[in-house]
Structure 1
Amino acid sequence: MFNQQSKYQNPKLYFTPAMQRARKPFAVRNAITGMLLLGFCGAVFSYSIVAVKQDDLSDVPMPPPPSSTNSEKNLTNDKN
C-alpha cells in the first residue's frame, strides 16, 4: 500500500499536470488559511511572552537555602 506509486505522481514523485490543475483553484484559499493559522499562533505566542515578562514574582515567598549541616545529617540518616 505504501510502496505503490500514486497515479497522481510521476516516477520522480512530482505531481502530474492533471493533479496540478485539480489543486489550482484551492491554492489561494489554502494560502490564506495558512497565513491566518500562522498569525493566530504568532499572536498567542507573543501574548504569552509579554504576559510572562510583566510578572515580577516578588510576592512569592522563597524557602531558605539548604545548609550544609542539614544535608549532612540527612545523608547520615539515610545510610542507617
Structure 2
Amino acid sequence: MAFEPSRYQDPRTWKMTPAMIRARRPFFKKNLLGLGILVSVTGGIYVYTHRFLNRDNDFADVPIPPIDPKELEQLKKEYEQHKRDVAARDE
C-alpha cells in the first residue's frame, strides 16, 4: 500500500499520536525560533530591497524643458495612432 500509516499516526484520522507529540515537544521552541529568524531575514531583505528600489530622487536634478503646444499635439496624434495600431494587431 502506498500510504501506510506509521505507528506514530492514528490509522483512521492520520493525526499524530500522543507519543509523537511528546517526541516533538523538545524541538518546538527551537523550531519556532528558527522560523522567526528565517521570516525576519526574509522580511528584512524584502523591505530593504523595496525601499532601495523606490527612491524618488533619481531624476530630481534633471531639468524638464518646456514643450511647444504644436509639438505636444503631434506627440498626442502619434500616440493615438500607435494605440490604434496595437489594438488592430491584437484583434
What TM-score do the two structures reach when normalised by structure 2? 0.59
How many residue pairs get aligned? The number is: 67
Aligned amino acid, residue 47 of structure 1: Y
**Structural mapping, 1:1-80, within 5 Å:** 2-10=2-10, 11-54=12-55, 56-58=57-59
In 1: Cα distance, 2:37 partner to 2:56 partner: 29
Q: CA RMSD in A?
A: 2.7
Query: Which SS does the other structure have where 2:4 is aligned?
Result: coil
Per-residue deviation, residues 33-77 of structure 1 (Å, max 9, x unmatched)? 000100000000000000001165538xxxxxxx56xxx9xxxxx
Once the 2 structures are TM-superposed, how far is the Cα of residue 5 of structure 1 from its aligned partner?
1.4
In 2: Cα distance, 1:31 partner to 1:39 partner: 12
Unaligned runs of 5+ in 2: 63-77, 86-91
In 2: Cα distance, 1:2 partner to 1:45 partner: 41
Query: Identity over the aligned pairs, expressed in percent?
Result: 29
Structure 1 residue runs of 4 or more that deviate by more than 6 Å after TM superposition: none
Unaligned runs of 5+ in 1: 60-66, 73-80
What TM-score do the two structures reach when normalised by structure 1? 0.66
